Amino acid sequence: MRDSEDFRENLLSCLGGDWPEFCPLDPVIEDSIVRKGYRIEKVTYQVELGERVSAYVLIPDRVTSKSPAPGIAVWHQHNNIWTIGKSEPAGFIGDSAHFTGVALAREGYVVLCPDALCFEERQDPILRGGDFERFVFLHYLVNGKSLAWKYILDMRRAIDYLCSRSDVNADAIGCYGHSLGSISTWLVGPWEPRLKCLVGNCSLPTYSAIHRTRLITGFAIVIPGLSQYGDTPDIAALIAPRPLHLNFGAEDRHSPIIEVRKAVETIRKAYEQYGAEDKFTYFIEENQGHVLSERMWKYARSTLLQYLPPN
């Protein structure tokens, strides 16, 4: 079994080293929209000095500062559509199957849907879409950091923002994501102990699968030098013993199932070391690809409800 503390130190070094001292969030509510059973606030907050992130916050009607609710961060998918980020889980545009922020708000959660770097309101006025994403990846790489390092920093600031809200129970924070959002979930998990329950749908591509199948993957898992110390399941394993659920499609070409079956065993062994085998669960749906099926959502929803029950 891999030494988790040694791996954590090596992972941090490969990611790009320690994160900077966090600056003030300086949150601003820019707009508020009323929906049936909840409202949506358009907010911005600072992740680094001079850099602000746009996000939507979905607040159920019955939630107040006197009756706070658990908070869920929803990390959006990639899908090679850089014009859509936070707006899809918030229910404004995109595939209705991924209006998951809305679904969770209707369950009673305060839901935060932020834009990831390069998406929606965090695009560049000159370089568009994938060109800007490649530029940002190379920008961080030549400065000794990975894009994953930046994603993790921004997600940790998202959790800071959730915990800062008076209508959120800061002791009951979780996260969910599909595709890039799932990668985001297991990337941030080891570095954010305030996340008490984590759920990912699809996307645990391993370096071994990438090499075996010549898989062209996204920049989020390109962590220079990491393969000499371990693979992506070892990152997810660092979440133990906190509750973690992962869904997979057996036909998902983005996460070849041969390596996925080995990956979940690696994670299971890490939870076994803590005597917390029941805190790690997974579901592999046969004849499904890179999707959020009804059965997958059922498992995602039930896991969050089990460990972070709303008021």
Query: What are 126-136's pLDDT values in tens digits?
Result: 998 999 999 99
Task: Give every CB contact of residue 5 below 8 A, 6+ residues apart in sequence.
Answer: none
Amino acid identity at 275: G
* Check whether domain 4-308 has CATH 3.40.50.1820, yes or no: yes
In which residue ranges of the chain is pLDDT below 70?
A: 1-2
pTM recorded for the entire structure = 0.97
pLDDT at residue number 72: 98
For residue 136, the tally of other CB atoms under 10 A from its CB is 18
Q: Cβ distance 300 to 247 under 8 Å?
A: yes
pLDDT at residue number 1: 52
The residue extents of the domains of the chain are 4-308
Query: What residues pair up with 233 in beta bridges, in sequence order?
Result: none
pLDDT at residue number 110: 98
pLDDT at residue number 174: 98
Q: Cβ distance 311 to 67 under 8 Å?
A: yes
- Per-residue pLDDT of 128-182, as tens digits, reads 899 999 999 999 999 999 999 999 999 999 999 999 999 999 999 999 999 999 9
